[in-house]
Amino acid sequence: MNRYFIYLAYNGKNYCGWQAQPNAPTVQQALEEALATYLRREVALTGAGRTDTGVHARLMVAHFDWEEPIADTGATADKLNRILPGDIAIHRILPVKPDAHARFDALARTYKYYLTEKKDPFNREWTCRVHGELDFEAMNAACSVLYEQTDFTSFSKLHTDVKTNNCRITHAAWAREGDLWVFTVTADRFLRNMVRAIVGTLLAVGCGKLTTDGFRKVIEHKSRSAAGTSAPGHALFLDNIVYPADIFQ
């Protein structure tokens, strides 16, 4: 059996997230259908993680197994791109070791969240517009608290099937990029709804409704009810996933 990683990007607007589910369009479903059309057999995909409804990915990774070696992965990617809808694009397909795993072998994942302070008809579908001034210096001070913590239950969707809510965040900061404010966060893993919950709570800091110490107490409370409202999903992008080099063939 031969295992392959698919690197892809997608606009999540028309999908109920990555994970396949009954009676709802998902990115996984669309990609599995394209693979079945091209390979003429059903193929099961395992993704590096889940993205929520409306969330985008500049880079998602999934693996699949195939009996025969794929002689030309570049040509395969090109043919799959012709089958897939316009809002999903495969970057490349890479052979990996038989036990390589798109989810469990990931060393780090990076998300970006985009805020705008002005009305713009051309970016409204992938940015979150905020009204009034935000104190981004205070928000970045609160971001430093994230490095101190490992249990992020307060930022997790309730009733998930994970065994632990522990994550290790290695980078979290707001930075100006042109007319936008961008929150970039990197961790070894993320919980469901985690980034959107963090952003929503940081917005409370930026509005002066929550101090840095208050932000710390939200995390220490270990309850979703203690955190702020989740920020809208349409402004969130899965930006990168890092793997160890030795899993690639």
Please indicate, yes or no, whether residues 91 and 113 belong to a single structural domain of this protein.
no
Please indicate, yes or no, whether residues 128 and 228 belong to a single structural domain of this protein.
yes
Q: Which of 104, 126, 151 is the last residue of a domain?
A: 104
Q: Which of 76, 104, 132 is the last residue of a domain?
A: 104
Characterize the bridge pairing of strands 56-66 and 236-242.
Answer: parallel
Q: Which of 104, 127, 150 is the last residue of a domain?
A: 104
Distance CA 167, CA 194 (A): 10
Report yes or no on 247 lying in a domain: no
Report yes or no on 186 lying in a domain: yes
Q: Where are the alpha helices (DSSP H) in the chain?
A: 27-39, 73-83, 136-146, 194-206, 212-221
Is the pLDDT confidence value at 234 over 70? yes
Mean pLDDT of 124-135: 93
- Percent of residues, the chain, with pLDDT higher than 70: 99
Q: What is the pLDDT of residues 168-213, one digit of tens each?
A: 999 999 999 999 999 999 999 999 999 999 999 999 999 999 999 9
Report yes or no on 232 lying in a domain: yes
Work out the widest C-alpha separation in the chain, in whole angstroms. Answer: 59
Range of the domain at 31: 2-104
Mean pLDDT of 146-174: 90
Considering only CA atoms, which of 217, 48, 32, 239 is closest in space to residue 142?
217
Distance CA 198, CA 156 (A): 9
Global confidence as pTM? 0.95
Characterize the bridge pairing of strands 46-47 and 56-66.
Answer: antiparallel
Please indicate, yes or no, whether residues 74 and 133 belong to a single structural domain of this protein.
no
Please indicate, yes or no, whether residues 95 and 163 belong to a single structural domain of this protein.
no
Which residues are known to be catalytic?
Answer: 52
What is the CATH number for 198? 3.30.70.660
DSSP 173-214: EEEEETTEEEEEEEES---TTHHHHHHHHHHHHHTTSS-HHH
Mean pLDDT of 51-61: 96
Distance CA 133, CA 206 (A): 8
pLDDT band at 64 (very low <50, low <70, confident <90, very high): very high
Is the pLDDT confidence value at 162 over 80? no
pLDDT band at 159 (very low <50, low <70, confident <90, very high): low
Report yes or no on 152 lying in a domain: yes
pLDDT at 80: 97
What is the CATH number for 63? 3.30.70.580
Rounded to the nearest integer, the mean pLDDT of the chain is 95
Please indicate, yes or no, whether residues 77 and 99 belong to a single structural domain of this protein.
yes
- Counting the structural domains of the chain, the total is 2
Report yes or no on 100 lying in a domain: yes
Is the pLDDT confidence value at 107 over 80? yes
pLDDT at 202: 98
Considering only CA atoms, which of 85, 70, 87 is closest in space to residue 6?
70
